[in-house]
Amino acid sequence: MKNILFLFALVAMASSTLQAQFRKDPIINIQNEDKKPINFGYYLGFNRYDFQFEFQNDIGQDVLVEQTYGFNVGVLGELRLHEFLDLRFEPGLLYTQRNLGFPGFDNANDAIREVRSTYIRFPLLLKVSTRRFNNFKPFIIGGGYAATNLGSNEDSLEDNSSGQFRLKQAVFGYELGFGIDFYTEFFKFTPSIRGVFALTNELVPDEDPNSPWTGNINALRTRGIFINFTFE
């Protein structure tokens, strides 16, 4: 309920800002905000992560992924390169959980694996904006990231035979997204939607090459989407 009320408040704020822009003589807020060579802020949001599987053999039985909602929080530093171009560094913390269901088992202890991941992320992104229109400005954003998965258990001696699903700790990938900058009276508020695509094969296979959990998986990569709310 708290999350719903928070999102409702943000939507209401954005709606009131949009309505103000289409008045005959709108008030232009924080006119010099984009003239700063360096800018700082913070963000928070939520995510929904998935896995993309590559199988060695097509046996017609896919691993099922139950997605849940997680959260992300971080800070940002922005370097102005051009009127329409900014370089952004957005280090942050992201938590997510994915529940995997493996076919061919008769009991839940063997069939289900809970994969909890806490990523420390270091995205370096390029933000391409349109010209500012009154008090809002759309943009697209994209770039690469490096991440450390604190919940990977990569070095654990236990594997799925002991109930432990392991992932690699270091992850590299890229993200793409879009959003709108809203200029309020005192700060800039920015909702954005991002897609996340890992390039790293994150799977740490079981010791048994014929493992019923990982034996047929050739690669496993994170795919996800998250929504950020940035304040500058």
**What pTM does this model have?**
0.82
DSSP SS3 for 93: strand
Residue 220's closest CA among 152, 147, 167? 167
6 bridge partner residues = none
DSSP SS3 for 70: strand
Tens-binned pLDDT, residue by residue, of the chain (232 aa): 444 444 445 544 554 554 544 455 678 888 888 888 999 999 999 999 999 999 888 765 688 899 999 999 999 999 999 889 999 999 999 999 999 998 888 888 889 999 999 999 999 999 999 999 889 999 999 999 999 999 888 888 888 988 899 999 999 999 999 999 999 888 999 999 999 999 999 999 999 988 989 888 999 999 999 999 999 9
Give the CA dihedral 36, 42, 47, 50, nearest 10 degrees: 70
Contacts by 216-220, CB closer than 8 A, 24 or more apart: 216/55, 216/56, 216/57, 216/59, 217/53, 217/54, 217/55, 217/56, 217/63, 218/54, 218/55, 218/56, 219/53, 219/54, 220/51, 220/52, 220/53, 220/54, 220/167
CATH of domain 2-231: 2.40.160.20
User: Could you give the CA distance from residue 43 to residue 227 in angstroms, rounded to a whole number?
Assistant: 10
Q: In the chain, what are the domain boundaries?
A: 2-231
